[in-house]
Amino acid sequence: MEFWKRNITAVVGMLIFSMGINFFIVPADLYNGGVLGVSQIIRTFLVRYLHLFSGSTDIAGIINMILNVPLFILAYFSISKNFFVKTLVCVVSQTLFLSVVPIPAKPIVADALSASIIGGIFGGAGIGIALRSGGSSGGMDIVGMFLTKKFKGFSVGRISLMLNAVVYGICAVLFGVQTAIYCIIYSAVSMLVTDRTHTQNINAEVIIFTKKEPVQIMDYIVKQFKRDATWWEAKGGYTEEKTYMTIVILSKYECAQLRRELKQIDEHAFVVEKDGLNIMGRFEKHL
């Protein structure tokens, strides 16, 4: 049940993202970043200069799917099969929605600046929802995850920023500096909304107080999140009753899962969460 719920949520996120692209970004002749941005530039060449695929269906999603095929293979063999499945669901649904969501003949918002901001809000919210469900939009996310596992200290966002710089540089040369500036504004708004929606990149310290044996809580943390935790016996300052404290570092996304499980293990558990942490040492980021 949880598997299908997450996948449906990821698909809804991709629908919202595709609406932002087709309703606001494409009519304003703007471009996404990453592999999809490369797909949109290829689409523009095929339609505008070679006069191919000039129908009402936008082929950028199909080109994006083709470019993601070798990245799917990389995800399957080098990252994890679970990550591969979730990414495949997101990219296939994204391709479908980008192909079927109608592109207005005339821009809904005439002003390119407004279109970039509104499109960024839709796009960022959609990607954030998909990420919260454990999905991924593919593209440079896969490459970034692969390099993160290979090289210590490498961030997933670094490779995306590098490709975005190339994409928007091409936009500046081919379509004008003004177009590139509006694309950068769209990208900045999208990333801001994604960060506000997505909680997997925010780490939190979780302290759990329970009067029951903490072994079940520890087992859940280790098996479900592949995290270690520390617990010790304590005594209440007012009641002087024996209690147990468990401390663990999780992402905000994992915290939400833990809270749901704690209701089943000990509904009277007292939980303290503190985010905005600076962490040193070995702590693996989970996508």
Return the pLDDT at 220: 86
The token pair that represents 83 in the structure block: 């990550």
Cα distances (Å, whole numbers) of residue 273 to 46, 218, 234, 249, 258: 52, 17, 19, 9, 11
Residue 180 · residue 168 · CB < 8 Å: yes
Q: Could you list the mean pLDDT of each consecutive 10-residue stretch along the chain, which spans 287 residues? A: 79 92 91 88 85 70 89 83 83 90 86 92 88 74 72 61 86 91 91 72 80 84 83 83 87 77 85 72 57
User: What distance in Å separates the CA atoms of residue 221 and residue 139, rounded to the nearest whole number?
Assistant: 30
* CA pair distance 287, 160, nearest whole angstrom: 15
Query: Do the bridges between strand 242-251 and strand 203-210 make them parallel or antiparallel, or are there none, so unpaired?
Result: antiparallel
Task: Locate all alpha helices (DSSP H) within the chain, ordered by sequence.
Answer: 2-20, 34-44, 60-78, 81-100, 112-132, 140-150, 156-175, 177-197, 215-225, 252-265
DSSP for 134-195, written as a single string: T----THHHHHHHHHHHSTT--HHHHHHHHHHHHHHHHHHHH-HHHHHHHHHHHHHHHHHHH
CA distance 117 to 186: 6
Q: Which residue has the tokens 């016996």?
A: 233
Give me the pLDDT at residue 163, please.
81
pTM above 0.85, yes or no: no
CA 177/CA 174 separation, integer angstroms: 9
- Could you tell me the domains of the chain? 2-197 (no CATH), 203-275 (3.30.70.120)
Buried b (16+ CB within 10 A) or exposed e, 130-147: bbbbbbbbbbbbbbbbbe
Interaxial angle between packed helices 252-265 and 215-225, expressed in degrees from 0 to 180 and rounded to the nearest 10: 140
